[in-house]
Copies of this chain bind each other. A is one copy, B any other.
Amino acid sequence: MTRAFNFSAGPAALPEVVLRQAQEEMLEWHGAGASIVEMSHRGPEFMAVAAEAEADLRQLLDIPDDYAVLFLPGGATTQQALIPMNFASAGQRADYVLTGHWGKTAVKQATPYVSVNVAASSEAEAFRDLPDRAGWQLSPDAAYVHITANETIHGVEFRDIPDTGGVPLVADFSSSIASEPLDVRRYGVIYAGAQKNLGPVGIAVVIIRRDLLQRDGQPRADIFDYRSHAARDSMLNTPPTWNWYLAGLVFKWMLAEGGVVEFARRNAAKAALVYAAIDASGGFYRNEVAPSARSRMNIPFFLPSAELDARFVAEAKAAGLLALKGHKAVGGIRASLYNAMPVAGAEALVAFMADFQQRHG
Contact = CB atoms under 8 A, between A and B. Distances in A.
Interface of A: 1-4, 6, 8-14, 16, 19-20, 22-23, 26-28, 32-35, 37-41, 43, 72-78, 80-81, 108-113, 193, 195, 200-203, 219-224, 236-243, 246, 320, 322-323
A191 to B, nearest CB: 13
Contact of A202 (B13, B43, B76, B242): B242
Given A27-B16, A238-B195, A40 B10 contact: yes
Contact of A19 (B20, B35, B236): B35
Nearest to A112: B219
A112 to B, nearest CB: 5
Contact of A3 (B27, B109, B240, B241): B27
Contact of A33 (B4, B20, B195, B223): B4
B26 A240 contact: no
A11 B23 contact: no
A220 B202 CA distance: 22
Given A27-B19, A80-B221, A323-B43, A34 B4 contact: yes
A238 B75 contact: yes
A103 to B, nearest CB: 15
B27 A13 contact: no
A26 B37 contact: no
21 contacts: A1-B28, A2-B28, A6-B38, A8-B39, A10-B40, A11-B38, A11-B39, A11-B41, A11-B238, A14-B35, A19-B37, A33-B322, A40-B323, A78-B223, A78-B237, A81-B221, A112-B220, A113-B221, A201-B241, A202-B241, A243-B243
